[in-house]
Structure 1
């Protein structure tokens, strides 16, 4: 069963993130709480027009992966490493990073107000707003579970 969060419930999401102790140890993985929040900021920026991704998978393979991860209850595997963790933080403190995440999510909504707009996922190819809502919900839920926030 997928553990997802509704990213449109921003007040609840922000409240959950603000309860996270900056010294919390993850249940799995190596991220610190701030690295996790800054990772989410970065990931949302790929979906709100600030960064442009490419998908290097063949279209049929990307479509199969999208169908599996978007349209099923399959969870994101634990301990999957797709990028190196940064040595330095981008934001001065956790609250600033969380506020930036909320801004990026608002920009995500604004970006997709234009009909027919898509954003590319590096492994799933082009996705529309509804598909991104599902994916972000799973991705955020994955990291909230990583820190026992849900």
Structure 2
């Protein structure tokens, strides 16, 4: 997966189709909430915010295998509790799009500078940079599919 082109070319292209009144195909998030939710996910991994691993230790290899597979996240998948600890950003839709892109650029620069970066994900355990890139790819695809952008 060429992550850099996905995050820097594909994501902005798909974001152009998101309008403030775009309705989700499932769930109750608004377009505003979805954008800020994705930004939070990126910031959580870069900032290495403490997160308790919820998945039983013996299940982590199976969860990581799923993460690294081509299988998408299911509609209605639960978000990790750490998301509630990151402040929401206010703003209009275009500003939230910009904030998401700033976070993605920051992540790519951070991973380039610190290729051994590791951070804990509540469901998948400790992830390295490649695993985080895959996680964010799947997460963005999940929500962009939710809003009909893929």
- Normalising by structure 1, what TM-score? 0.83
- Correspondence for 1:76 among 66, 70, 73: 73
1:7–1:137 contact (8 Å) kept in structure 2: no
Judging by fraction of residues, say which structure has more helix.
2
Q: Take 1:32 and 1:149, find their aligned partners in 2: how far apart are those partners?
A: 14
Which residue pairs with 2:104 in the alignment?
105
2:42–2:107 contact (8 Å) kept in structure 1: yes
Give the secondary structure class of the aligned counterpart of 2:46. coil
Give the secondary structure class of the aligned counterpart of 1:127. strand
Per-residue displacement from partner, 1:104-136 (whole Å, max 9, x unpaired)?
Answer: 112212322224221111111111111111111
Q: Take 1:42 and 1:15, find their aligned partners in 2: how far apart are those partners?
A: 20
Residue 28 of structure 1: how far off its partner (Å) = 0.8
Give the secondary structure class of the aligned counterpart of 2:120. strand
Q: Take 2:2 and 2:143, find their aligned partners in 1: how far apart are those partners?
A: 10
Per-residue displacement from partner, 1:67-106 (whole Å, max 9, x unpaired)?
Answer: 1222x222111122336998x9622111111111111112
Which 5+ residue runs of structure 2 have no aligned equivalent?
none
Q: Take 2:146 and 2:27, find their aligned partners in 1: how far apart are those partners?
A: 8
1:63–1:125 contact (8 Å) kept in structure 2: no
Q: Take 1:8 and 1:127, find their aligned partners in 2: how far apart are those partners?
A: 21
Which 5+ residue runs of structure 1 have no aligned equivalent?
none
Q: Take 2:95 and 2:50, find their aligned partners in 1: how far apart are those partners?
A: 24
Q: Take 1:64 and 1:110, find their aligned partners in 2: how far apart are those partners?
A: 30
Give the root-mean-square deviation of aligned CA atoms: 2.6
Which residue pairs with 1:124 in the alignment?
124
Which residue pairs with 2:49 in the alignment?
51
2:48–2:120 contact (8 Å) kept in structure 1: no
How many residues align structurally? Answer: 145
Q: Take 2:29 and 2:55, find their aligned partners in 1: how far apart are those partners?
A: 27
